[in-house]
Amino acid sequence: MNFGFLKVAAAVPKVKIADPNYNCEQIAQGIAAASRAGVSVVAFPELAVTGYSCGDLFGQPFLIAQAERALSTLLQRTAQEPVVSVVGLPVAVDGALYNMAVVLGQGKIFGAVPKSYLPNYNEFYEARWFAPSDRLRRTEITLCGESVPCGTDLLFDHPSCTMALEICEDLWVPVPPSCGHAMAGADLLINLSASNEMVGKHDYLRGLIAQQSARTLSAYLYVSAGFGESSTDVVFAGNGMIAENGLFLQETPRFTMEEQMAVADVDLERMQTLRRRTNTFEAGAAHATTAYRRIALALREDAEAFAVQRTFNPRPFIPQDPTLRRARCEEIFQIQVAGLAQRLLHTQAGSAVVGISGGLDSTLALLVTVQTFDRIGVPRSQILGVTMPGFGTTTRTHTNAVKLMETLGVEVREIPIHEACAVHFRDIGLDPQDRSVTYENAQARERTQLLMDLANQRGGLVIGTGDLSELALGWATYNGDHMSMYGVNGGIPKTLVRYLVEWVADQPAYAQARPYLLDIVETPISPELLPADAQGDIAQKTEDLVGPYALHDFFLYHFVRFGERPAKLYWMACRAFEGTYEAATVRRWLGVFLRRFFTQQFKRSALPDGPKVGSITLSPRGDWRMPSDATVALWLKEVESLEEETK
């Protein structure tokens, strides 16, 4: 099973200007190489058969005829290759010359697409030789002895993908043809180009490609002319780029003197899922005016025999580039601050109350609250930080909690809950030695009651500390730490909370708190609801009970964002965490994630308000609406089948 992946390639061959035979030989070698790599679709640059920079030689009928003849030879030469290829060449039709992209494979031409927009400014003067697509009156042309569908209204259809083409300048216009192609159903967009190099142009081009693939929710394959093109006035560096929904998967190096090929597995199943979820995409399609012709496309039948080479970030919520990660942390922190500031000002709350445990989540909530009070001009002394030691509180977390509050300049209150919980245990007839969920949840609810009542006393708001990962797993006490008056962390997964706290620790304004912040980052994650061990250390470690947050956050991102099925989640996670978690471990915690995600929806249905900070949120008022009694049976059945397959 390839899970909707399609292996595609952008090939930059060597060219000789006005030598179709040589160029088609190079293209044939590129097709053969793509075939050996398991590629299903490979694209070559604009006018690759003749070379883009032929100039007035395009006015020579001899060159045009030789280009078609060389294409015929290419068809025969590659007839046994299972690859679909897209090749550019000049084609004469009814007294005009067109810059065309031709789709061919297995000895057949599937169709030809003419260039729509001809640049005739600065260094470009294509209108000197070529006619634009709207001049073409035919829907079929004769090419290499075949009657071939021709036009900008062609979609090349296969059960695994719908492919459409545009050529170079088509991408640079205000409304590229690929917008219409995508709205008509194309999920693989291919651009044959011959864009020359200038300082800064490459970055601009990458931006165009990224934005177009994101705007059209598609895979976008771009390939541009390289070494061998004329350098009379311009230089062609050779670009092969493959993007998917705004992210680049593969790129070839520029300015090389050798042929290059970028190969990537694009996830077209994911693109289709995103399109179904994005109702405005379908609304745009409803206004499309072009009536497209669909051409049946024959792709290789052995595609699943070639391994998918796609890699996956094991921490999808966290940018891998350190500079981008720091910028992302700052942006998220500012979103949290802005949300809390609006809520405080709107409710005219004079203070805020935060329960501080010495753990990651409450630390981040306190940091956000402090920054918010600084922003709105209210003294930090109006923030009440409350530490509530219980049966499982350790010296390490208690010390960090108190020192953090002191260094941040908030009011510190310590209210032990041992006695109150003991009374409550007697009231409900619970043996204090009973370490059941009642024992744990009673402590969480006692703490929440204290915070709520203190907020009422002070005319303030209780700031929630629970994070997105806990909401996904239901790892919160209903009407305990599950509840607050504004939850600033509700859109942030646990793996990201750690980076946010580290980012704040690096800020000069928090230098005094830095030692405590860094120690909190290193402290094992725990609710500290069960007594410590004999050495006074944390005995109840969350990840021992519900599984590694790294895995759960990975599952959460791909399950909610892209609707990935259990088998695909398992396959992706095994790749992402190879060398870290064994397959059996991934499978076990995937089952736990799915079971808890479904059964704990009732907690998410009663969430307090909180800011959305990323593409994933579980607010019942926003992105995730799910019945609390939905069954997980179908998903768990597939997880069980994975276990059988791997025995």
Angle of helix 514-522 versus helix 395-408 axis, rounded to 10: 150
Cβ(265)–Cβ(308) under 8 Å?
yes
Cβ(599)–Cβ(333) under 8 Å?
no
Indicate the residue type of 588.
R
Instruction: Give the per-residue pLDDT at 618.
Output: 95
The dihedral built from the CA positions of residue 501, 502, 503 and 505, taken in this order, carries a sign that is: positive
Beta bridge partner(s), residue 148: 141
Distances (CA, A) of 28 to 13, 18, 52: 10, 17, 18
Return d(Cα 192, Cα 609) in angstroms, integer: 49
DSSP β-ladder status, 96-105 and 108-114:
antiparallel
| Closest-CA residue to 364 (of 536, 610, 617) | 610
Is the pLDDT at 647 greater than 50? The verdict is: no
Instruction: Give the per-residue pLDDT at 235.
Output: 87
Contacts with 325 (C-beta within 8 Å, 6 or more apart), sequence order: 318, 319, 499
In angstroms, the first-to-last Cα distance of the chain is 18
Quickly list DSSP for 208-227.
HHHHHHHHTTSEEEEEE--B
Return d(Cα 465, Cα 141) in angstroms, integer: 67
Over the stretch 159-171, which tens digit does the pLDDT of each residue have?
999 999 999 999 9
Output the pTM of the full model: 0.92
Return d(Cα 305, Cα 577) in angstroms, integer: 23
Return d(Cα 553, Cα 210) in angstroms, integer: 26
Range 94-102 average pLDDT: 96
| Closest-CA residue to 100 (of 86, 84, 89) | 89
Is the pLDDT at 536 greater than 80? The verdict is: no
Domain ranges of the chain: 5-305, 322-646
Beta bridge partner(s), residue 293: 154
Indicate the residue type of 312.
F
Catalytic, out of 7, 24, 54, 115: 115
CATH classification for the domain delimited by 5-305, as one of 3.40.718.10, 3.60.110.10, 3.40.190.10, 3.40.309.10: 3.60.110.10
Instruction: Give the per-residue pLDDT at 529.
Output: 60
Whose tokens are 């067109």? That residue is 98
Over the stretch 304-359, which tens digit does the pLDDT of each residue have?
999 999 999 999 999 999 999 999 999 999 999 999 999 999 999 989 999 999 99
Q: What angle do CA 151, 155, 156 make, to 5 degrees?
A: 115
Cβ(603)–Cβ(474) under 8 Å?
yes
The tokens for 142 are 């004769």
Other beta carbons within 10 angstroms of residue 582's beta carbon come to 12
Return d(Cα 502, Cα 564) in angstroms, integer: 31
Instruction: Give the per-residue pLDDT at 525.
Output: 78
Return d(Cα 406, Cα 413) in angstroms, integer: 11
CATH homologous superfamily of 322-646: HUPs (3.40.50.620)
Return d(Cα 393, Cα 389) in angstroms, integer: 5
Cβ(549)–Cβ(469) under 8 Å?
yes
Beta bridge partner(s), residue 486: 463
Task: Specify the higher pLDDT residue, 544 or 254.
Answer: 254
Catalytic, out of 24, 25, 46, 470: 46
Cβ(115)–Cβ(100) under 8 Å?
yes
Q: What is the CA radius of gyration of the chain?
A: 30
The tokens for 228 are 């061998």
Beta bridge partner(s), residue 166: 191
**Residue 231's pLDDT band (cuts 50, 70, 90):** confident
Cβ(600)–Cβ(473) under 8 Å?
yes
Instruction: Give the per-residue pLDDT at 485.
Output: 97
Range 452-469 average pLDDT: 97
Instruction: Give the per-residue pLDDT at 537.
Output: 66
Strands (DSSP E) found in 289-421: 293-296, 351-355, 383-387, 411-414
Q: Which long-range contacts (CB under 8 A, 24 or more apart) does 566-575 make?
A: 566/590, 566/594, 566/635, 566/636, 566/638, 566/639, 566/642, 567/1, 567/3, 567/638, 567/641, 567/642, 568/3, 570/639, 570/642, 571/3, 572/312, 573/312, 575/310, 575/311, 575/312
Task: Indicate the average pLDDT of the chain.
Answer: 94
Task: Specify the higher pLDDT residue, 647 or 409.
Answer: 409
Strands (DSSP E) found in 168-291: 188-193, 219-224, 239-244, 247-251, 260-267
Instruction: Give the per-residue pLDDT at 34.
Output: 98
**Residue 528's pLDDT band (cuts 50, 70, 90):** low
Catalytic, out of 24, 54, 168, 179: 168
Q: Is 115 known to be catalytic?
A: yes
Burial of 108 (0-12, 13-18, 19+ CB in 10 A): middle
> Per mean pLDDT, which range of 281-295, 321-335, 377-391 is the poorest?
281-295
Whose tokens are 């109702």? That residue is 279
What does residue 645 show for φ and ψ, rounded to 5 degrees?
Answer: -65, -30
Range 58-63 average pLDDT: 96
Q: Is 54 known to be catalytic?
A: no
Instruction: Give the per-residue pLDDT at 565.
Output: 96
Whose tokens are 């996904």? That residue is 472
- Can you count the helices (H) and strands (E) in the chain? 20, 20
Whose tokens are 């709205």? That residue is 183
Q: Is 637 known to be catalytic?
A: no
Cβ(336)–Cβ(614) under 8 Å?
no
